Structure 1
Amino acid sequence: MTDETAALQASRKPRIALMGEFSAGKSTLSNLLLGARPLPEKVTATRLAPVWMSYGDTAPYRVTVEGATEPVALERLESIPVQETRVIRLFMECDILELCDLIDFPGISDPNMSSNVWERMLPEVDAVIWCTHATQAWRQSEAAVWDMMPDAVRDFSVLLITRYDKLTTDKDRRRVFQRVRRETDGQFAATFPISLLQALQAGDDYEKWDASGAGPFVTHLIDMIEKLTKVAARTDQPLYNIANGTKIPEPVRATIMPRRVQRVRQDAEPDDDTSDGAVRASS
């Protein structure tokens, strides 16, 4: 093993935030990427402090705003005081978390939750998958929050136009996609229209999987994680903390074996935002 390979393996994993306004599809996206519900059936992530998910079987705990840690019970997560909690840490053994950490943020537009709840976790972020609802895509409130992001984070982030199937005509779909691309020009590494529920329901039908928009998005995501992993190995802090104009270390161009992105079907048939699905990257 070369010193460079050892350094890469010892480095921290990329940290990817799932963000967007209330009811933009973040919970469905989380289920899709993880292949399972990270939270119990009756627990809603929108009522929680940010949830940081990593690979492993460590018991869940919360980190207070003062930095102390306390064990928590999954079935009682909604009893955790939001304003006094910086982050909830959950651990699962699933494919995507072998590659990166995911941080599920509450909806940015929730009038019942102070923005401090999620703003204080932004310094931990390397990249963002931002979900915007197709029928009201890229609202002014979303654009205002995205203006806070440094260029280093934007350079790797992805914009998902979710619930794309709610746009009933090709004309409407083209119009929304073109407008969003125009209004966010240069602010994201890539933009994908997607129907997350259709992706969950695709099963082993790869044509339906790709038609939902999930195929192109997940292929891009795996490539993005590979690049972020190389950058994280050469950066002693999350990319959010790197000031605009600072040169970001280039990813190492290592030889990568051919890979494929697999969709693994779960037993349950999805019928709403709490449905299960799975995404797997394999070499």
Structure 2
Amino acid sequence: MRVALLGMPGSGKSAILNLLVGQDVIPDGVRLPTLELAYGDAEKAICTLPDGSKTALDHIDTAEIAAMSPVFVEMRMPLPALRKISLLEVVAPNDPNAIHRASQWAAKRCDVTLWSTRGFNETEQRIWGTMPDLTKDHAFCMITRADFLKTEGMLETTVGAVKLAAKDEFAEVLPIATTQAINARRTDGTVDKVAMRDSGGSALISAVLKQVERGRQSAVDMADMMLHQHADLLARAPQQTTAPAAEPEPKATEETATVNTDASVSEPTPVTEPVPEEAPVPAPTLDEPEEPAEAKPAAQDAISRLREIAKRKNVSRDAAADAAAAAAAEAAAEIAEAKALAALKPATRDAYTHVITYIEERGTELAAVLEEQGDNGAAEVMALTADHIQWLCDYLNENGDDADQSLQRARDTAFDAADMVQLMQMEKRDDVALEAVSLMLQIKRELQADLAA
């Protein structure tokens, strides 16, 4: 997932970058231009100079890089967190027009956005107000220097004012004491979890991990739907007498990265070769179902077709994607633990169970529509899904126990999904029905997670 760090100059973007990757990549006092940080098996920096030429370094020395006065820097580092996310820190002059242009440029190159601010003033509100709705749906407003605000007795007032000004402009408003969060990392590599949680660092990392998991699951949902939609074509595909040439396996090393997610966005995964530099952020792999030996070539053909579709949609696949499912499961467990939701009231539990059953039944109906109508069934699937999600909104709004915080969150998720589906119905893309179904499945998974908790 591509994470962009935006905001006014001096708002604390570099400190958040250091926190997310678990290392002081950008030291205090060093000013760099717009920076893209991604995974690499060895340190490397490519500096684009004002005349358009590029200079490559086989090491990371921020002072040396700054002395070149580059206009853009690409960094590759073997940090565990960068196997899950890449980071784009956008730096622009202290001019609203320049920051607006830079933010619009970044919106096309990221999946999750963190807007760093000290108060979300009117200038910031005007700049952010012009961002695409899709960007806003996956964006967080980070109120930095929360420790200072708390000391001055202004934290609650500032957070309340920002939430009022931001309204529905962000997925969430999160205060963070970045320095305190960074200092929670001990020199021996362990983390002071209490300090990390109190600083707001754990909330930020959990929020980013949740977006990573949602993006992975959305891709899997769409792929599963496409496989089902084109099942007839795949069944008619000629059986191969020999297995197709396998793609080269990633070169795994003996090294294993294990970093506590309270300190950075990373998980235990074997170290593998990085994706090519020109590739965008990695997307998760598809879990191939177990098939009889004679049916495997058709399954391999199905995966090949999906990969071609993915390439046309500019979705890359990480060499380490085989570990994505397990890593995502760990992330989901940690998020659930961090939320520490109270036990659901019986009325809410009954409502959730009914909704989950409803979604499963409707899913069977949608599958039947695709099976009967094939490519011509997309419009009907879209219309039916919109009706189903609206039913979810109405049912959750009228059932359950209002004392459950989880219920209010589920209601908000359902209403957000209904709004998004209405917008989707205005689009003419072939895959919009798949995205709508993915939203409905996302609601189901969140309810199942709350029931399990």
Relative to the length of structure 2, the TM-score reads 0.44
Q: Per the alignment, in what secondary structure is the counterpart of residue 167 of structure 1?
A: helix
Larger RCO (CA within 8 A; separation ≥ 6): 1
* 1:112–1:219 CA distance, 2 compared to 1 (3 A): closer
| 2:130 corresponds to 1:130 | no
Letter in 2 for 1:53: L
| 2:199 is the alignment partner of 1:212 | yes
Deviation of 1:37 (Å): 2.4
User: How far apart in 1 are the matches of 2:24 and 2:13?
Assistant: 12
Contact 2:43 2:76 in 1 (8 A): yes
Aligned equivalents of 2:102, 2:68: Cα separation in 1: 13
Q: Does 1:157 align with 2:139?
A: yes
Q: Distance in 2 between matches of 1:210 and 1:161?
A: 15
Contact map agreement 1:109 1:141 (CA 8 A) in 2: no
Indicate how the Cα distance of structure 1 residues 230 and 62 shifts in structure 2: closer, same or farther if over 3 A, else same.
farther
Alignment RMSD (CA, Å): 3.6
Post-superposition offset of 1:78: 2.4
C-alpha distance in 1 between matches for 2:175 and 2:30: 28
Give the one of 56, 64, 77 matched to 1:76: 64
Larger strand percent: 1
Contact 1:43/1:77, CA 8 A, preserved across alignment:
no
2:94 to 110, 113, 121: 110
Question: Does the CA-based 8 Å contact 2:176-2:199 persist in structure 1?
Answer: yes
Shift of residue 41, structure 1, vs aligned partner:
6.8
1:189 corresponds to: 171
Paired position in structure 2 for 1:199: 181
- After TM superposition, list the pairs within 5 Å mapping 1:18-167 onto structure 2: 18-39=5-26, 43-45=30-32, 48=33, 50-56=34-40, 57=42, 59-62=44-47, 70-72=55-57, 74=61, 75-80=63-68, 85=71, 87-106=72-91, 108=92, 110-111=94-95, 114-115=98-99, 116=101, 119-133=104-118, 137-167=119-149
Query: What is the aligned counterpart of 1:180 among 162, 182, 188?
Result: 162
Deviations 1:14-59 (A, max 9, x none): 21101111221111111111122224676323xx1x2111111263
SS at match of 1:149: coil
| C-alpha distance in structure 1 between counterparts of 2:140 and 2:68, whole Å | 30
How many equivalent residue pairs?
Answer: 228
C-alpha deviation, 1:226, in angstroms: 1.4
The whole-number CA distance in structure 2 between the counterparts of 1:171 and 1:38 is 32
SS in 2 for 1:130: strand
Q: Secondary structure at the match of 1:110?
A: coil
Task: Please report how far the alpha carbon of residue 101 of structure 1 lies from its aligned counterpart in structure 2 after TM superposition.
Answer: 0.9
Query: Is 20-29 or 33-42 further displaced after alignment?
Result: 33-42
Question: Cα offset for 1:162?
Answer: 0.8
Deviation (angstroms), 1:171: 5.8
Paired with 2:204 and 2:64, the residues of 1 have a C-alpha distance of 34
CA contact (8 A) 1:62 1:89 kept: yes
Q: Which runs of 4+ in 1 moved over 3 A?
A: 39-43, 62-70, 72-76, 79-82, 111-122, 168-171, 229-235, 244-248, 250-255
Q: Is the 8 A contact 1:33 1:96 kept in 2?
A: yes
Gaps of 5+ in 2: 186-190, 220-282, 284-309, 316-421, 446-453
| Unpaired stretches in structure 1, ≥5 consecutive residues | 1-13, 239-243, 256-283
User: Over residues 233-260 of structure 1, what are the superposed CA-to-partner deviations in whole Å (9 max), with x where a residue is unaligned?
Assistant: 579259xxxxx944773377699xxxxx
Report if the CA contact (8 A) 2:11-2:117 is conserved. Answer: yes
The DSSP-based 3-state class of the residue aligned with 1:43 is coil
Cα gap change, 1:245 to 1:114, in 2 (>3 Å): same
